[in-house]
Amino acid sequence: MNLCIDQGNSRTKVALFRENGSIAKHFIYKHFASAEVEQLFQLYKIEDSIISSVVNIEPAVVNALHKHSRHFVLFDHNTPLPISNGYGTPATLGQDRLAASVGASAIYPKENVLIIDAGSAITYDFVSEDGSFVGGNIAPGIKMRFTILHRMTKKLPLVEAEENELLPLFGRNTRDAIAAGVIRGIIFEVKGYMRDLQEQIPHYKTIITGGNAPFILHGLQVDIRFERHLVLMGLNQILLYNTRQEQ
């Protein structure tokens, strides 16, 4: 199996992929170190591995992955990709955004694809039908918007919303006004991107991923595909592409 690791600021997401591309196992770690790598290789038949990180990777983690893997990829802006990267500053492009775009392109080959990742921040990225990452935008995420409203004002409370909460069009109390303002604002934002893109490119697909995607999915009511593990799927495609290059 292939071991794919997506290391974020607060947690590390890990998946084991079968040869047919399906996920055999999925894990989330609050702390991920070389001991976790050793355990994974002891428990499962892993041949190749890849790690992507937005933080500094512990050298012991890299050493363990390199030691146990037939092929190991430390994903960065120099890693060969199955799509082309048209970003003006590739070294500054988030690896999670690029991996998600590779995953989306694999799901919809030779299609224009809008990728929405609703995590700590919300990113909107676009891959063209010729397999090129065109670019994208970054906006504050749900929790960030709630936190900013609380911290930047004297009286507004810190609000949390439920995933499937039915929010009013206009709140009749401060809590509902904040919750609806943030969640509905993001829903309108997503619809606005989709509408403006359709005016320029009539035919495209849309994929949404990220931990906060369920907050906004039920309010979109548009043709959109939800892929919880899109970044990990993209990492697996990058790993497969690089192992084939080495053969």
Catalytically active residues are: 96
Interhelix angle 174-200/213-220, rounded to 10 degrees, is: 70
Q: Residue 179 burial by CB count (10 A; 0-12/13-18/19+): exposed, middle or buried? A: buried
Residue 167 and residue 93: Cα distance in Å, rounded? 34
Chain centre distance of CA 34: 24
Interhelix angle 142-151/174-200, rounded to 10 degrees, is: 130
Helix (H) or strand (E) holding 211, with range, is none
Residue 46 and residue 11: Cα distance in Å, rounded? 22
